[in-house]
């Protein structure tokens, strides 16, 4: 019996139930476990938000302390993984480095053959720490700098910046980065999370699901857009061009402008509200608001002309640049945060699993097509 084909790209299709993240795309509302993202951005920390995503409630003081200690205790990478990072070419794509290294981490993981709820949580702790470590370690290795060992007394955000730069971050930078991690932590059934859930639903392991998710996040229609935004800003700057004229030209040539548009939001992406402010505040404080100002001009034009809103990736580009982070680390940093949401979804999938296996409407040659012998083929 033939069924109606789902809309292209599965737009609007509700593919699963989930208790993790709720979005109202019309109203521009994003919430984790029912708590509004604006409240989390103002009051929470990445650790607390991750606890919320994984365990479904805000932690008590003691639970949060225990969580932070457990997370900090997993700030270690096996020697074979560090050695592997040293064998890679300096110019390697950092998302490819991350994807491959996360895959490698499953070999030798103490819970490799265990996919119980408890083992999945333990793996999630380890991967949350290790993804941050891989990004920071590889960046230092490729720059010929000594690796900075993790500091277990620092927050997840603070430790990442410390491992990356070798300098303990000032409070403002740590706070801004921590807020960015909260904002990127989860987003319902985005492409990478869906990929992770499809993999997990075969009863494959956490590392396989996260490896697939990293591959999906890399694409420029998804997480890769933040790097593409910064490339655009650099291009405009190098050409000494007017940002609006430059983008007008792109749109006239039917080129999509990275950092704009969203499958779900029909209004302002609530995360962009914070990243715009962070970009402005950090730029102003650093005495270099150039990237923010260019971004703001582009946003005004694209919104006015195309009715497209900036998404989470647009102002994260200028925010991270102002924090002194290289642009090819932007998408890996997305993964440094999104591992919390991916892990929550993989755990939820395994806890109540059914194989995800939709159908396709066949559009190929009519059945039965002849099997033409080799001698008669043209
Ligand atoms: C973390 C994230 O993943 S957030 C998204 C990050 N991705 C980007 O920023 C890349 C740029 N944006 C896009 O490519 C899209 O808006 C997506 C991928 C985010 C959403 O895609 P979809 O829901 O499939 O929308 P689709 O691509 O069909 O766009 C609908 C219309 O808006 C236009 N449009 C959408 N985004 C843009 C854009 N950034 N620039 C110019 N036009 C755009 C499309 O050309 C299309 O126009 P048409 O109907 O005249 O052909
Ligand atoms: O939800 C989406 O399609 C993409 C997105 O914004 C995210 O993953 O944060």
| Ligand of minimum distance to the alpha carbon of 188 | 2
Sign, Cα dihedral of 320, 325, 327, 330:
negative
Question: What is the predicted pLDDT for the residue at 136?
Answer: 98
Per-residue pLDDT reduced to its tens digit, 332-376: 999 999 999 999 999 999 999 999 999 999 999 999 999 999 999
Distance set, CA 72 to CA 41, 43, 154, 203, 338 (Å): 22, 21, 8, 28, 18
Spatial distance between the Cα atoms of 226 and 250, rounded to a whole number of angstroms? 17
* Ligand 1 midpoint to CA 352 (Å): 33
Residues of the chain with CATH 1.10.580.10: 21-172+181-221+328-351
Spatial distance between the Cα atoms of 124 and 115, rounded to a whole number of angstroms? 11
Q: Is 248 in the pocket of ligand 1 (CB under 6 A)?
A: no
Q: 126: exposed, middle or buried (C-beta count within 10 Å: 0-12, 13-18, 19+)?
A: buried
Instruction: Indicate whether 2 pLDDT > 70.
Output: no
pTM beyond 0.90: yes
Closest CA to 121 of 164, 77, 67, 163: 67
- How confident is the model over 242-264, as a mean pLDDT? 98
DSSP state string for 168-223:
PPPHHHHHHHHHHHHHHS--TT-HHHHHHHHHHTTT--HHHHHHHHHHHHTSTTTT
Three-state SS at 155: coil
Q: Is 271 in the pocket of ligand 2 (CB under 6 A)?
A: no
Per-residue pLDDT reduced to its tens digit, 285-327: 999 999 999 999 999 999 999 999 999 999 999 999 999 999 9
Instruction: Indicate whether 1 pLDDT > 60.
Output: no
**How many other C-beta atoms lie within 10 A of the C-beta of residue 201?**
18
Select from 1.10.230.10, 1.10.357.10, 2.40.50.140, 3.40.640.10 the CATH code of 225-322: 1.10.230.10
Question: What is the predicted pLDDT for the residue at 311?
Answer: 98
Q: How many CA atoms lie less than 13 Å away from 58 in the CB half-sphere?
A: 10
* Ligand 2 midpoint to CA 32 (Å): 14
Closest CA to 126 of 109, 144, 147: 109
Q: Is 128 in the pocket of ligand 2 (CB under 6 A)?
A: no
User: What residues are labeled active site?
Assistant: 262, 313
For ligand 1, mutation pick of 183, 256, 331 (most atoms within 8 Å of CB): 256
- How confident is the model over 246-273, as a mean pLDDT? 98
Predicted ipTM > 0.95: yes
Question: What is the predicted pLDDT for the residue at 105?
Answer: 98
Residues of the chain with CATH 1.10.230.10: 225-322
Helix/strand/coil percentages in the chain, nearest 5: 60, 5, 40
Q: Is 341 in the pocket of ligand 1 (CB under 6 A)?
A: no
Percent above pLDDT 70 for the chain: 99
Closest CA to 308 of 261, 276, 272: 261
Q: Is 256 in the pocket of ligand 1 (CB under 6 A)?
A: yes
* Ligand 1 midpoint to CA 240 (Å): 27
Token pair, residue 97, equals: 């480095």
Q: Which atom of ligand 1 is nearest to the CA of 314?
A: 9
- H helix runs in 115-155, sequence order: 117-142
Q: How far apart are the first and last CA of the chain?
A: 35
**Nearest residue by C-alpha to atom 2 in ligand 2:** 190
**How many other C-beta atoms lie within 10 A of the C-beta of residue 220?**
16
Q: Which atom of ligand 1 is nearest to the CA of 256?
A: 40
Percent above pLDDT 90 for the chain: 99
Distance of CA 175 to the CA centre of its chain: 19
- How confident is the model over 62-75, as a mean pLDDT? 98
Instruction: Indicate whether 259 pLDDT > 70.
Output: yes
Beta strands in 270-328 (DSSP E): none
Per-residue pLDDT band at 3 (split at 50, 70, 90): confident
Q: Which atom of ligand 2 is nearest to the CA of 263?
A: 3
Q: Is 200 in the pocket of ligand 1 (CB under 6 A)?
A: no
Length of the chain: 378
Q: Which atom of ligand 1 is nearest to the CA of 259?
A: 9
Domain covering 21-172+181-221+328-351 in this structure, CATH number: 1.10.580.10
Strand order in the sheet with 35-36: 21-24, 29-32, 35-36
Residues 6+ apart with CB under 8 A from 78: 105, 108
Q: What does the DSSP 8-state code read for residue 308?
A: -
Question: What is the predicted pLDDT for the residue at 74?
Answer: 98
């Amino acid at each position: 019996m033939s069924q109606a084909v789902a809309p292209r790209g599965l737009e609007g299709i509700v593919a699963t139930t989930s208790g993790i993240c709720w979005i109202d795309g019309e109203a521009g509302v994003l919430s984790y476990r029912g708590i509004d993202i604006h409240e989390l951005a103002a009051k929470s920390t990445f650790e607390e938000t991750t606890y919320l995503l994984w365990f479904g409630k805000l932690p008590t003081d003691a639970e949060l302390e225990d969580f932070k200690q457990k997370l900090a205790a997993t700030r270690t990478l096996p020697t074979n993984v560090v050695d592997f990072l040293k064998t890679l070419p300096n110019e390697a794509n950092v998302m490819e480095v991350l994807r491959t290294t996360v895959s490698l981490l499953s070999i030798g993981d103490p819970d490799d053959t265990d996919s119980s709820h408890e083992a999945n949580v333990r793996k999630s702790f380890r991967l949350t720490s290790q993804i941050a470590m891989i990004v920071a370690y590889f960046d230092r290795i490729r720059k010929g700098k000594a690796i900075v060992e993790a500091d277990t007394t620092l927050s997840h955000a603070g430790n990442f910046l410390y491992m990356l730069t070798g300098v303990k971050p000032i409070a403002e930078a740590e706070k801004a980065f921590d807020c960015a991690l909260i904002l990127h932590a989860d987003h319902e059934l985005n492409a990478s999370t869906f990929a992770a859930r499809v993999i997990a639903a075969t009863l494959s392991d956490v590392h396989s699901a996260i490896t697939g998710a990293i591959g999906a996040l890399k694409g420029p229609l998804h997480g890769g857009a933040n790097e593409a935004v910064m490339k655009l800003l650099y291009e405009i700057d190098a050409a000494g061009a007017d940002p609006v004229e430059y983008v007008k030209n792109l749109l006239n040539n039917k080129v999509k402008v990275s950092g704009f548009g969203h499958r779900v939001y029909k209004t302002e992406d609530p995360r962009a509200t914070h990243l715009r402010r962070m970009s402005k505040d950090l730029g102003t404080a650093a005495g270099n608001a150039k990237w923010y100002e260019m971004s703001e001009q582009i946003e005004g034009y694209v919104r006015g002309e195309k009715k497209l809103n900036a998404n989470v990736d647009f102002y994260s580009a200028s925010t991270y640049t102002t924090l002194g982070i290289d642009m090819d680390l932007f998408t890996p940093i997305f993964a440094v945060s999104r591992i919390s949401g991916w892990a929550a979804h993989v755990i939820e999938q395994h806890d109540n699993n059914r194989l995800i296996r939709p159908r396709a409407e066949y559009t190929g040659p009519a059945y039965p097509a002849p099997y033409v012998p080799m001698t008669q083929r043209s």
